[in-house]
Each structure stands twice: as structure tokens, then as C-alpha cells.
Amino acid sequence: MDKAAELKKLLRVIVGFQNSLPIPAKVVEVDGDSCFVEIDGLVLTDVKLKATISDNTDHLLITPKVGTNVLLMSLTGELDNLTVVKIDEVQSIHFKQNGLEFLVDGSDGKVSVKNNDTSLLDLFGELKELISKITVSTGVGPSGTPLPPTIQSLTLFENNFKKLLK
């Protein structure tokens, strides 16, 4: 028996592998849409975080934190076709479809919402600039730009939305 077949056989014995049962593991590294996991000291590579690893731009990718526990399954029953099906701690969630993109990033605590034309961050930035330059008609002509308390409030608004949005 070659070493790969022997390793598969031993791994099945170690984890009690059965086709219909999830396999508990711990994430040791994340690489794009796959990860490395550890099962009882044995590190497995190329474990999928999506149903398929492809260049398709439309996807939902839930990325686990390194060190978190996950559950793995294999639809084929083979250990070289494992997919993460449950994650204890999430690092990020990335959804992309038809130009719409949504990212929740736990590494910096920020959210990104955008499409092919604009982003929520850009829209809030434009709104802040628009309000800071607003003038209104008065009985004696146009007003000046907003007063310093308004500018301070707008700067606070800008600082706060930049803490949340990317």
C-alpha cells in the first residue's frame, strides 16, 4: 500500500471517519478560499471554505479565525475533498454578486458595501462635503458656509463613519 493510501486509512481510524458524520478540526492557516486544519496533530491542507474553489467572482465566503474550531464534511467520502461546514469564530464574511459587494471584516471591525459604481463610504464622504459647503437663500442674499459648530459636527460625523466603513 502506498503512503497516501496508508495515511488515509490511518486518518479514518484516528477520527472515526464515516461519510455522514462531520469531522471536528482546528484552523491553523487560511489561504484565500481554502484553509489548513489540524486533526489530532495531523495537518490537512486545501480544505475548502466554499463548495468549490473557482475563479468565479460571484460568491459567499465565510472565513474562520485562525485557531477556531470547525466542522468538516466530505460529500465524496474522500479526505482530499473536505469542506468547512460550520465555524465557531468568524474572521470575515464576503458576499459578491452581480457587482454588489458586501464585506464584514472582523480584523478591523469595519464593513464595506459597494457596487460597480460607488460605495457607502464614498456616499457618506460626498454627503459630508455637500453639507459642509451648503448655502441657502436669505432675504439679503445667499448665506455663508456653515458655522464652526456645524463644521465640527460634520468632522465628528466623518470620523465616526470612517471607523465603521471601508
Residue type, 138: T
pLDDT of residue 118: 96
CA distances from 63 to 14, 73, 87, 102, 146 (A): 26, 16, 8, 14, 44
pTM over 0.85: no
Contact 42, 14 (CB under 8 A): yes
Express each pLDDT in 23-69 by its tens digit. 999 999 999 999 999 999 999 999 999 987 777 789 999 999 999 99
Contact 63, 92 (CB under 8 A): yes
Express each pLDDT in 90-146 by its tens digit. 999 999 999 999 999 999 999 999 999 999 999 999 999 999 888 888 888 888 888
The widest CA-to-CA distance across the chain, in whole angstroms, is 95
How many alpha carbons fall within 13 Å on the CB side of residue 102?
Answer: 7
d(CA 54, CA 62): 15
d(CA 5, CA 3): 6
Bridge partners of 152?
none
Express each pLDDT in 56-77 by its tens digit. 789 999 999 999 999 999 877 7
Task: Identify which has the larger pLDDT, 79 or 111.
Answer: 111
| Cell numbers at 117, concatenated | 459604481
